[in-house]
Amino acid sequence: MPDFTVTPWHVEGDIDYDKLTRQFGTQKITEQLRQDIGQAAGEDHFMLRRGVFFSHREMDRILEQHKNGEKFFLYTGRGPSGDTHIGHLVPWVFAKWLQDRFGANMYFQLTDDEKFYSKHDMSLEDTYEYAMQNALDFIALGFDPEKTKIIINTRNIRTLYPIAAQMAKRINFSNTKATFGFTNETNIGMIFYTALQSAPCFIEDGPVLIPLGVDQDPHFRLTRDVAPKIKRPKPALIHNMMMPGLGGPGGKMSAAENNAIYTTDTPDMVRKKITKYAFSGGQSDVAEHRKLGGNPDIDVSYQYLRMFFEPDDAKLESIHADYKSGRMLTGELKQILVEKINKFLCAHQKKREEARNRMGEFLYEE
C-alpha cells in the first residue's frame, strides 16, 4: 500500500511533496523562480513565500514570454460536487492575485459533467446546481468581470467540443488508463473527460498559465503531451499543496461535513468545528504543554493560518514561537483561527450574496 494517494478524484494520506514532485515529473519552485515571479508581479505573495505554491511546469517560460511583451491568460476550475470549502479557495485567491498583477484574462471551468460521471449518486441537475453555488464563491473573490469568463461544460459545449475533439483523437485508452488507473468498469464519460478539461487551455491563441491544486496535474500532463501535435502551446502550471482536512494530515478535506470549513458555514459552526475537530499538535494536558510546547507542523489550526488566514509573516512567526514554546495553549491558538475565519467568511458571504445579481456579467456566452 502506498502511504499516500494523489489523483484528480482521490487524495488520501500524509502527502510527501518531494516524492510527489518526482512521481508527477514537475519542477519544484526554486528561490530564484520565486523571486522572478515577485519581480514580474511587482510584489511577493505569502503563498509563494511560504511554499504553499511549491511546484510548477514551465512557469519560467511564462515569465520569459511576459518579459518579451507576450500576453498570457489564466485558467482554473472546479468540479461542482458540493459546497465550496476553504481548500478550494487556495488556487482561486492566488489566481485573483495573478489577474490583478498581470492584467490577465481568466477562464473558470465548472465541470458539471465530470462530477455527474464520477459521483454515482448525483444527477446532472444536482451538479449544475452546485456549479451555480460554486460560481458565487469564485465571483465573490473579486475577479474583474471585464476579464473573466465562467464556462459551464454542459452549457458551453459548442465552444469546448471542437477543441476537445482535437485532444480526444490524440489520447488513447492506454494513456488515460495509465494516468488515472481506469479499469474496464470505468464509464466512458470519465475516459473522455480529460479532453474537456484540456479544452479551455486553447480557448485563446496565446500561452496559458493554470494555478491549481497539485491533484489536478495529471490531466494537464496529458494535455501537454498532445499540445505540440495540434500545434498549440503547452499549458504552464503552478501547483499548490492540499490544505489538510480538520482531522489532520491524511484526512481528505471533504470526506465528511465535520472535516472541512465551508464558505457557507455560520460563525457558530466554525467555532464548533475548529474547537471540536481541528487536529491539535498540543500536549495532552496544560502542564505537559507548558513544559514541552506544541508542534505547529502537524497542528491543523496553525496550518490553516499559515496557508490562508494569516498573511502577516511577523504575526505568524510570533504565533509559531509562542505555540512551540508552550506559552500559547491549543485553545488560544484555535481562538485566533476561529476569529480569523469568521472575519473572512463574514466579508465573503456578503460578497457572495451580491454575486447572485452579477452572474450574467461572468457567464461565458457563445
Q: How far is the CB of 219 from ligand TYM (least distance, A)?
A: 7
**Quick one: how many helices (H) and strands (E) in the chain?**
17, 9
Q: How far is the CB of 134 from ligand TYM (least distance, A)?
A: 8
**Does 232 contact ligand TYM by CB under 6 A?**
no
- Per DSSP, helices labelled H in the chain are 17-24, 31-41, 46-49, 59-67, 86-102, 112-118, 124-140, 157-168, 173-180, 188-198, 217-226, 267-277, 286-292, 300-304, 313-325, 330-355, 359-362
Candidates 167-175, 208-216, 291-299, 343-351; binding stretch for ligand TYM (CB under 6 A) = 208-216
Q: How far is the CB of 285 from ligand TYM (least distance, A)?
A: 31
Nine-digit cell at 167?
Answer: 485532444
**Does 263 contact ligand TYM by CB under 6 A?**
no
Measured distance CA(233)–CA(93) in Å, rounded: 25
Nine-digit cell at 16?
Answer: 510527501
Burial class from Cβ neighbours inside 10 Å (0-12, 13-18, 19+) for residue 261 reads buried
Give whichever of 77 and 296 is closer to ligand TYM, judged by the CB atom: 77
Question: Of these, 47, 72, 74, 87, which contacts ligand TYM (CB under 6 A)?
Answer: 87
Measured distance CA(323)–CA(333) in Å, rounded: 8
**Does 114 contact ligand TYM by CB under 6 A?**
yes
Candidates 139-147, 225-233, 239-247, 296-304; binding stretch for ligand TYM (CB under 6 A) = 239-247
Question: Of these, 195, 236, 243, 261, which contacts ligand TYM (CB under 6 A)?
Answer: 243
Give whichever of 171 and 243 is closer to ligand TYM, judged by the CB atom: 243
Candidates 14-22, 107-115, 159-167, 322-330; binding stretch for ligand TYM (CB under 6 A) = 107-115
CB 87 within 8 A of CB 213: yes
* 235 alpha-carbon distance from chain centroid: 17
**Does 280 contact ligand TYM by CB under 6 A?**
no
Measured distance CA(155)–CA(167) in Å, rounded: 20
**Does 235 contact ligand TYM by CB under 6 A?**
no
Half-sphere exposure of 117 (CA within 13 A, CB side): 19
Q: How far is the CB of 86 from ligand TYM (least distance, A)?
A: 8
The binding site for ligand TYM (CB under 6 A) comprises: 8, 75-79, 87-88, 90-91, 109, 111, 114, 197, 210, 212-213, 215-216, 240, 242-243, 253
